Amino acid sequence: MKQIDLYKNLPKKNCGKCRQKTCMPFALAVIKGDAELSECPLLDTAEAERLKGMITVTDWREGLILKLRDEVKKIDLAAIADLLGGQMKNGSLVIICMGRPFTISADGEVATHGHITPWVKILLLHYIRNSFNNSIMIKGMPKQADEKWISYAELKSGMVKASSFQREGEDPLKEMLDQNLASVEAILNRLGALKKEGFPTPYAWALNLLPKVPVLILYWPEENEFPSKVKVLFNPSADKYLDVEAIVFLIEGLVKNIEAMSRR
């Protein structure tokens, strides 16, 4: 079943209650294996089961992981460990991603204690490959750039994916902060976020999602006629370590982590 065929069988109400917000992106997410039909609140159980039996999910992610592993195998991890903000341990590279240590072996295998998703593997392998490919530019960047923050749209090719970034990252963060500011702030603290001052809102947190990819999360609560708002800003060097599509995955990972930690 193709995306358009599944879409035709959905309620097509664009109710905004799923993570994709509208039915067409939801259909694509189901076909790709990134969402379950049960996540649609307007689709009854029997119809969801009927449609599920007609869908063959092709997990293209495994193919991408193998391709990235082949590229990472050619890289001397020890030579770029400092560039990545990682450390070598027993011949493998250790990188902290969203507060968790991950180990990447010389053959590109990614491991950690507990569950690891294909997205995290893709993200870390992208991080290593892009950093290696852009190592000359990274080493030549001025240190004062570390103190600057820019929007996602200002990153290289960011304008093309800006709507996806807002839909998959900023909007879900805003909803969670609207619902329970104290809980989300506590989770951000557990992930290593630091409260920052000098911004046009008292709710500003800096967080290293990857050692060399810090983000600045700014939140404005609803006030009088002004609706609440979230902006996620980046260091100008972010697109040297990850391409803009991988950065969307990174923010999605943060959203999913906060959702999971809030249920514990």
Domain boundaries, the chain: 3-52, 60-139, 146-262
∠ Cα 201 149 130 (to 5°): 140
- For residue 120, pLDDT over 60 is answered with yes
Is residue 30 within 8 A of residue 43, CB to CB? The reply is no
- For residue 145, pLDDT over 70 is answered with no
Q: How far is CA 53 from the centre of its chain?
A: 30
CB atoms within 10 A of CB 160: 11
Q: Which fold is adopted by the domain 3-52?
A: 3-methyladenine DNA Glycosylase II; Chain A, domain 3 (1.10.15)
Strands annotated E in the chain: 87-89, 92-97, 100-104, 110-111, 150-151, 194-195, 203-210, 213-220, 229-234
* Dist. CA 172–CA 256, nearest whole Å: 10
Single-letter code of the amino acid located at 209: L
pLDDT value for 242: 96
**pTM for the predicted model, two decimal places:** 0.78
* Dist. CA 45–CA 41, nearest whole Å: 10
- For residue 139, pLDDT over 60 is answered with yes
| Mean pLDDT for the stretch of residues 29-56 | 88
Per-residue confidence band for 223, with pLDDT thresholds at 50, 70 and 90: very high
- For residue 143, pLDDT over 70 is answered with no
**Under the phi-then-psi rule, with left for phi > 0, alpha for psi from -120 to 50, and beta for the rest, what region is 216?**
beta
Q: Which of 33-47, 72-86, 200-214 has the lowest mean pLDDT?
A: 33-47
- For residue 263, pLDDT over 80 is answered with no
Residue 55 structure tokens: 């869908």
- For residue 230, pLDDT over 70 is answered with yes
pLDDT value for 119: 85
The residue ranking higher by pLDDT, 115 or 52, is 52
| Mean pLDDT for the stretch of residues 72-82 | 97
- For residue 201, pLDDT over 90 is answered with yes
pLDDT value for 144: 52
Parallel, antiparallel or unpaired: strands 229-234 and 92-97: unpaired
